[in-house]
C-alpha cells in the first residue's frame, strides 16, 4: 500500500504558499500543510506527521536558518528532510549556510514547476523505499521473535517429557510418541528458520544492489574530479566524497561476507602459495596508509617457514588485512608488526601475530571483541569509525579453516592478535610473470574499439562516457536489452565490445546476452565479447552472468583504471 507523503510549506508570503501548494497537487499520494512563520512550522511538526519541509529562508521572526536549527535540536524532528527555498541573487551565500544547519537540498526563486515536481518525486520515492525496507525488517524481526518463542516452548516441553520418563516408566510408549511429535515440530521450526535466513540473504543482496548502483556514480565521479584541475579546497572535498563512498562499500562487503558465512555459503579454496610473500604483500598494501599516520609497518618472518604451503591464501590475506588495517587505524604513534612462524607436531600450522603500540583494549571488553558489531566502547566508533565487523569475519574465517584466534592487550600500550591456521606442505610455487595481455608495453598504442554500452541509468551512462572521453574508443549507448539486441544485429560487423548492465527494464542483461548468443549461433557469426556490469556482488551472480554467455564480469562501483584494463584485454 502506498504511503501518504506529507509536505510542510513554510513561507511568510501567502501567494508563495498558494503557488507551491497548487503545483504539489499534481503529485499522487501527497498531502500539504502550511505555516506562515518559523514558529508556526515548529508547532506544525509537533502536531502533525511531516515527511518533508519546504522552508523559506527570509521570514520575519524566526528565519529559515533558525527554524532549521530548532528542528535539528529535537530527536523527533531532526531527521525530517529540509529543502531551503531562496532567491537567486542570494543562492550561493544561503546554500553554504543552509547545508551547515542541516538542509539536504535547495531551490531558487522563482521556482521552476518541473524542477520542484522532480525533486519532490525523488524524495517521495526515497521515503517509500525507506518505509518498505523498515516494514521488511519489522516483518523479519517478528518472524525471529515467533521462532524464538516456538523454540522456548519446545525446550520446555522436552524438559517436561524427559522428567516424566524418569518418574513414570509405565508411560514409555506414550512419551516416545510425544517425542516424535516434538521432533516434527522442531523440523517445522527449522524450516521456518531457513526461510527467515533466506529472506535475510535476499534482502541483503537487494540492498547491496540498490546502494552499489548510485555509489558507482559517486565514486566514479569523485575519481574524475580528482583527475581534473581542482584548487586545494575542491580537491579536499572530492577526497572526502571518495573516502566516504569507499567506507560505505567496505561496510556493504563486510555485511555480505558475514551473511554468507552465517548461511554456510563460504567455501574454502585451497591452493599452493608462498606464506612469506603473502605477508610482504599485505605490508605493501597497507604501508602507504601507515606512513600517512606516521606509523612504521614491518614484518618478521621466521627462517623455518616453508617456501610453499597449501591452503586458502585469499582468506588468510583477508584476515591479515582486517587485523593489520585495524592495528594501523587504532595506533596513533609507534609501530605495527606482522610476525609469521611455522609449527609442526601432528599438523602443519602457520602462526601469525599482529602487534601494535596503539590505544589497547580494556580487559573487560576482551571477551566480546570478536562479537558482531563490537568495539571496545562507543567512543572508539565515534573517533576511529568502523562497523565492528572485521574481527567477527576474521574469527569466523579462522574457525572455518580449523584454526584459532585470540587477543592480548593492555589499555594505552597496545594489542597483539594471534591466529593459527592448519596447512599442508606443497611443491614450490612459481610466481608467474606479468602477462603482456594484461599490461600493455610502455608506448604501445591502444587499439580503438567500437563499444556498445547497454545501461538504463543516465548517471551511469554519463560516467562511462566520461571515462572513455579521452580514449580512442567510440561509444554507442542504449537503455535496455531490446535496443541492445537491435543495435548489435545492425552493427555486428563494426562492434568490438558490449558493456552490458544486468538489471534493466524491458529486457534485462541476462536475457539480452542469451538473445545475442542465440542470434550469433543462428547466423553463424563470431561471438562478440560481452562484459557484464552489475551491482550484484555475490559470487553466484558472477557465475550466472558467465552462464548466459558473458565473457567477463565486473561489480559496480567500477573504477576507471579497472575498466580501462578490462577493455584493454579485448583490444
pLDDT averaged per 10 residues, the chain (length 571): 83 90 89 92 90 89 89 87 75 71 80 85 82 82 86 84 74 79 80 68 61 67 75 76 64 65 70 91 86 90 91 88 89 92 87 93 80 52 54 86 91 92 76 43 68 89 86 92 92 92 89 93 92 75 88 82 87 77
Angle between helix 560-568 and helix 172-227 axes, rounded to 10 deg: 90
In sequence order, what are the beta bridge partners of 252?
A: none
Per-residue model confidence (pLDDT) at position 538? 63
22: which residues sit within 8 A by CB, 6+ positions away? none
Per-residue model confidence (pLDDT) at position 253? 66
Pairing mode, strands 348-356 and 414-425: antiparallel
Pairing mode, strands 82-87 and 474-478: unpaired
Q: Which three cell numbers stand for residue 557?
A: 562501483
Tell me the pTM. Answer: 0.46
In 382-443, beta strands by DSSP E: 404-410, 414-425
Alpha helices in 293-402 (DSSP H): 313-329, 378-384, 390-400
- Contact between 457 and 214 under an 8 Å Cβ cutoff? The reply is no
**Phi–psi pair at 293, nearest 5 degrees:** -90, 0
Cis peptide leading into residue 318 (ω within 30°): no
Per-residue model confidence (pLDDT) at position 431? 47
340: which residues sit within 8 A by CB, 6+ positions away? 275, 276, 279, 299, 300, 301, 302, 305, 350, 351, 352
The CA-to-CA distance between both ends of the chain, in Å, stands at: 50
Q: Which three cell numbers stand for residue 393?
A: 569475519
Distance separating alpha carbons of residues 357 and 257, to the nearest angstrom: 29
Residue with cell 623455518: 304
In sequence order, what are the beta bridge partners of 335?
A: 296
Distance separating alpha carbons of residues 516 and 562, to the nearest angstrom: 25
Other beta carbons within 10 Å of 296: 14
How many helices (H) and strands (E) would you count in the chain?
Answer: 16, 17
Distance separating alpha carbons of residues 210 and 214, to the nearest angstrom: 7
Per-residue model confidence (pLDDT) at position 225? 75
Q: Exposed, middle or buried by CB within 10 Å (0-12, 13-18, 19+), for 309?
A: buried
Other beta carbons within 10 Å of 210: 14
Q: Exposed, middle or buried by CB within 10 Å (0-12, 13-18, 19+), for 158?
A: middle
Amino acid at each position: 500500500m502506498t504511503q501518504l507523503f506529507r509536505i510542510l510549506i513554510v513561507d511568510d508570503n501567502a501567494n508563495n504558499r498558494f503557488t507551491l501548494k497548487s503545483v504539489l497537487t499534481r503529485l499522487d499520494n501527497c498531502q500539504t500543510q502550511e505555516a506562515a512563520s518559523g514558529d508556526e512550522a515548529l508547532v506544525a511538526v509537533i502536531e502533525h506527521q511531516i515527511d518533508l519541509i519546504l522552508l523559506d529562508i527570509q521570514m520575519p521572526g524566526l528565519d529559515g536558518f533558525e527554524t532549521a536549527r530548532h528542528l535539528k535540536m529535537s530527536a523527533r524532528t531532526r531527521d525530517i528532510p529540509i529543502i531551503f527555498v531562496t532567491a537567486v541573487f542570494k543562492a550561493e551565500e544561503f546554500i553554504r549556510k543552509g547545508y551547515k544547519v542541516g538542509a539536504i537540498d535547495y531551490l531558487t526563486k522563482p521556482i521552476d514547476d518541473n524542477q520542484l515536481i522532480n525533486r519532490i518525486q525523488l524524495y517521495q520515492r526515497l521515503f517509500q523505499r525507506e518505509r518498505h525496507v523498515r516494514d521488511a525488517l519489522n516483518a523479519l524481526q517478528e518472524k525471529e521473535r515467533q521462532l524464538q518463542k516456538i523454540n522456548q516452548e519446545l525446550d520446555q516441553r522436552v524438559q517436561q517429557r524427559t522428567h516424566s520418563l524418569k518418574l513414570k516408566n509405565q508411560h514409555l510408549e506414550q512419551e516416545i510418541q510425544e517425542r516424535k511429535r516434538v521432533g516434527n515440530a522442531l523440523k517445522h521450526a527449522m524450516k521456518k528458520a531457513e526461510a527467515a535466513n533466506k529472506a535475510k540473504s535476499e534482502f541483503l543482496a537487494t540492498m547491496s544492489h540498490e546502494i552499489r548502483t548510485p555509489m558507482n556514480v559517486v565514486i566514479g565521479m569523485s575519481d574524475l574530479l580528482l583527475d581534473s584541475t581542482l584548487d586545494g579546497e575542491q580537491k579536499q572535498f572530492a577526497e572526502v566524497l571518495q573516502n566516504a563512498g569507499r567506507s560505505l562499500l567496505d561496510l556493504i562487503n563486510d555485511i555480505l561476507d558475514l551473511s554468507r558465512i552465517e548461511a554456510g555459503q563460504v567455501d574454502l579454496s585451497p591452493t599452493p602459495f608462498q606464506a612469506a610473500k603473502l605477508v610482504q604483500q599485505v605490508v605493501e598494501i597497507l604501508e602507504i596508509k601507515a606512513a600517512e599516520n606516521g606509523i612504521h609497518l614491518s614484518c618478521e618472518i621466521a627462517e623455518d617457514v616453508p617456501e610453499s604451503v597449501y591452503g586458502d591464501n585469499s582468506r588468510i590475506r583477508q584476515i591479515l588485512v582486517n587485523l593489520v588495517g585495524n592495528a594501523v587505524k587504532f595506533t596513533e604513534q609507534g609501530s605495527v608488526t606482522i610476525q609469521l612462524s611455522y609449527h609442526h607436531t601432528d599438523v602443519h600450522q602457520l602462526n601469525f601475530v599482529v602487534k601494535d603500540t596503539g590505544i589497547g583494549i580494556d580487559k573487560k571488553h576482551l571477551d566480546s571483541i570478536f562479537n558482531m558489531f563490537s568495539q571496545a566502547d562507543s567512543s572508539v566508533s565515534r573517533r576511529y569509525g568502523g562497523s565492528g565487523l572485521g574481527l567477527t569475519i576474521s574469527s569466523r574465517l579462522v574457525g572455518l579453516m580449523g584454526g584459532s584466534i585470540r587477543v592480548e592487550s593492555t589499555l594505552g600500550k597496545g594489542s597483539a592478535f594471534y591466529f593459527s591456521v592448519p596447512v599442508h606442505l606443497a611443491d614450490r610455487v612459481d610466481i608467474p610473470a606479468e602477462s603482456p595481455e594484461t599490461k600493455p608495453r610502455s608506448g604501445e598504442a591502444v587499439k580503438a574499439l567500437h563499444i556498445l554500452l547497454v545501461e538504463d541509468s543516465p548517471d551511469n551512462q554519463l560516467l562511462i562516457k566520461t571515462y572513455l572521453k579521452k580514449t580512442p574508443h567510440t561509444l554507442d549507448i542504449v537503455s535496455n536489452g531490446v535496443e541492445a539486441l537491435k543495435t548489435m544485429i545492425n552493427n555486428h560487423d563494426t562492434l568490438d565490445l558490449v558493456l552490458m548492465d544486468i538489471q534493466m527494464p524491458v529486457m534485462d542483461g541476462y536475457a539480452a546476452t542469451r538473445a545475442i548468443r542465440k542470434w550469433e549461433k543462428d547466423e553463424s557469426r563470431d561471438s562478440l565479447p560481452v562484459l557484464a556490469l552489475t551491482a550484484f556482488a555475490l559470487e553466484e551472480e558472477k557465475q550466472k552472468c558467465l552462464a548466459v554467455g558473458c565473457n567477463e564480469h565486473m561489480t559496480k562501483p567500477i573504477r576507471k583504471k579497472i575498466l580501462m584494463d578490462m577493455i584493454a584485454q579485448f583490444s
